[in-house]
Amino acid sequence: MPELLLQLFTPFFFFIFFLLPLFFFFFFLALQKNHKKVETHSSTTATAIPKAYPLIGSYFAFKANNNRRIQWLSDAVLASPNVTFTFHQLLGEKSIITANPATVQHILKTQFSNYQKGGNTLTTLSDFLGAGIFNVNGENWKFQRQVASHEFNSRSLRKFVEVVVEAELNQRLIPTLNDSQSQSKTLDFQDILQRFAFDNICKIAFGFDPEYLTPSLKDSNLTKAFEDAHIISTKRFREPLALVWKMKRKLNIGSEKRLRIAVSEVQEFARKIVREKKKELKEKASLDSVDMLSRFLTSGHSDEDFLMDIVISFILAGKYTTSAALTWFFWILSKNPRVEKEIMKEIREKSEGVRVYEEVKDMVYTHAALSESMRLYPPVPMDDKDAMKNDVLPDGTIVKKGMSVAYHVYAMIGLSFDLKGG
Ligand code: HEM
Ligand SMILES: *[C@@H]1O[C@H](CO)[C@@H](O)[C@H](O)[C@H]1NC(C)=O
Ligand SMILES: *[C@@H]1O[C@H](CO)[C@@H](O)[C@H](O)[C@H]1NC(C)=O
Ligand SMILES: *[C@@H]1O[C@H](CO)[C@@H](O)[C@H](O)[C@H]1NC(C)=O
């Protein structure tokens, strides 16, 4: 009997586990080729909850809106009951995206331990992030978080503002802008701010100066590699089946080949920073300034791979967030001359140019404008977690173990106040 069953089932299993995936693999490869065409064609798709079909879910609507993913999901979330959207993906897979304040609190606070980084997230990002803070849970996360938290106490922040940012401003950012004005040269301001943020974060966290914002504005292989590694890794999430990128990785083709090259360049850079810091610590008995990397090293962690991962996660954490925040801020200021004028007035009134850190704290209007800009254009518009166990969200949505549950910060701007209150 078992043999007969086996005979019957072998072709069936062959079909399910081999032919079907293979079919999907080429199907999606082909889809990717047509990708550009679909994108431009449908950037004006109506805003609402996308229809979900058996097997394919809302895959085609998702694909068609790939170039406005955040806005599209925001529209779907805001149109959903209780502003929690259940997104139907391929082969019956579901994920949840919410803008419901009670649910956000549930995920990030009250049920924090149930919403961590799950297996899918971990494997998708591990080539790039390894065991860095963004890609670990539990004790390892806690340890990294604890060491990193020193970076955000007021003494570190003061040093950040008074020493690092001040020098980067006076020696690099302002001269660059001044030059461009006196030579009537156009600058890509987002690029400038990314360079600014990259230099700052490396200096504050590792005591290392990459000199990326220099007058020549040279392309740096490193930041290009960083960009590639970041973009390709996160695009893996948008692959309808993880199998597709996994096979591309196995075959070392296309984007996965580029990823491998980019990651090894980034790792080489991070490793160099770690080695130099180790040498420096050995040579000097006491340090005049303690950066985060030194703190990790002196807390008994000397494993080079681990420290390399920490360095990479930190650059990622600091670079895109601050530069996105600043880019949106200056963009929105350029559209609001009245606010710009108020800010200029406040800066003139409150700065004596000596106690920069205290002066900045007094600039309440500027602070409010920056906060408002980040509310309207959150630098991290969406963030994903994975459910460790089955759960029911405060808005009534049922969550199954392993499901991805994301909170959509950008969508939350669209909430009415009575929902916020309740
Ligand atoms: C405007 C600036 C920034 C924004 C909007 C921002 C936003 C965020 C968000 C949304 C998270 C994820 C939280 C979560 O998943 O629960 C995060 C995590 C983190 N950020 Fe930032 N961030 C900013 C600047 C920075 C800077 C400058 C640094 C480092 C110097 C930094 C270091 C980190 C670290 C280490 C984590 C991981 C924390 C953890 O997993 O516990 N961030 N940030
Ligand atoms: C700005 O550029 C002008 C002309 O190139 C120069 O004379 C001036 O010193 C510069 N100012 C700053 C703050 O760099
Ligand atoms: C940067 O990359 C280019 C092309 O990949 C290479 O020719 C060049 O030597 C690299 N430069 C540095 C400084 O690594
Ligand atoms: C909305 O949330 C309430 C609980 O706050 C729940 O009773 C209700 O069923 C939810 N509505 C939908 C359509 O999910």
pLDDT digits (tens, 9 = 90+) for 92-145: 889 999 999 999 999 999 999 999 998 888 999 999 999 999 999 999 999 999
Residue position matching structure tokens 């980019």: 262
Give the model's pLDDT for residue 242.
Answer: 86
The whole-model pTM stands at 0.84
Whether residue 91 sits in one domain with residue 170: no
Q: 132: Cβ below 6 Å to ligand 1?
A: no
Whether residue 162 sits in one domain with residue 99: no
Cα of 271 from ligand 1 centre, angstroms: 22
Percent of the chain exceeding pLDDT 90 equals 60
Q: Is residue 362 part of a domain?
A: no
Residue position matching structure tokens 């068609």: 64
Nearest ligand, CA 170: 2
Q: 380: Cβ below 6 Å to ligand 2?
A: no
Nearest ligand, CA 261: 3
170 has a pLDDT exceeding 80: yes
Give the model's pLDDT for residue 252.
Answer: 95
Q: 177: Cβ below 6 Å to ligand 2?
A: no
User: Which of 335, 368, 402 marks a domain boundary?
Assistant: 335
Whether residue 214 sits in one domain with residue 307: yes
Q: Is residue 83 part of a domain?
A: yes
Q: Is residue 16 part of a domain?
A: yes
Give the model's pLDDT for residue 288.
Answer: 59
Cα of 225 from ligand 3 centre, angstroms: 11
- Please compute the mean of the pLDDT values over residues 333-358 and round it to a whole number: 91
* Residues 255, 238: Cα–Cα separation, whole Å: 13
Give the model's pLDDT for residue 3.
Answer: 46
CATH code, domain with 296: 1.10.630.10
Cα of 61 from ligand 1 centre, angstroms: 31
List for the chain the helix, strand, coil content (%; round to 5): 70, 5, 25
Number of separate domains in the chain: 2
Whether residue 265 sits in one domain with residue 216: yes
Q: Is residue 122 part of a domain?
A: no
Residue of 166, 182, 184 to mutate, ligand 2, most atoms within 8 A of C-beta: 182
Q: 82: Cβ below 6 Å to ligand 4?
A: yes
Helix (H, G, I), strand (E, B) or coil at 177: helix
Pairing mode, if any, of strands 391-392 and 382-387? unpaired
Give the model's pLDDT for residue 313.
Answer: 93
Whether residue 236 sits in one domain with residue 168: yes
Q: Is residue 351 part of a domain?
A: no
pLDDT category at 286 given cuts 50, 70, 90 is: low
Cα of 194 from ligand 3 centre, angstroms: 20
Whether residue 408 sits in one domain with residue 273: no
Cα of 310 from ligand 3 centre, angstroms: 25
Whether residue 151 sits in one domain with residue 95: no
Give the chain's mean pLDDT: 86
Residues in the chain: 422
pLDDT category at 341 given cuts 50, 70, 90 is: very high
Joined tokens for residue 216: 């020549």
Q: Which residue has the higher pLDDT, 406 or 218?
A: 406
Domain that holds residue 98: 2-117+385-420
Q: Is residue 23 part of a domain?
A: yes
pLDDT category at 163 given cuts 50, 70, 90 is: confident
Q: Out of 126-135, 242-251, 280-289, 367-376, which region has the weakest mean confidence (pLDDT)?
A: 280-289
- Give the list of residues 6+ apart from residue 49 with CB closer than 8 angstroms, or none: 76, 79, 80, 85
Q: 156: Cβ below 6 Å to ligand 1?
A: no
User: Which of 311, 335, 359 marks a domain boundary?
Assistant: 335
Q: Is residue 352 part of a domain?
A: no
Whether residue 172 sits in one domain with residue 86: no
Q: Is residue 237 part of a domain?
A: yes
Cα of 82 from ligand 4 centre, angstroms: 6
Nearest ligand, CA 397: 4
Nearest ligand, CA 184: 2
Q: Assess contact for 199 and 172: CB atoms under 8 A.
A: yes
Give the model's pLDDT for residue 219.
Answer: 80
Q: What is the pLDDT of residues 74-90, one digit of tens each?
A: 999 999 999 999 999 88
Q: What is the pLDDT of residues 227-241, one digit of tens each?
A: 999 999 999 988 878
CB atoms within 10 A of CB 401: 12
Give the model's pLDDT for residue 35.
Answer: 40
- Please compute the mean of the pLDDT values over residues 33-37 and round it to a whole number: 40
- The ligand 1 atom nearest the CA atom of 145: 41
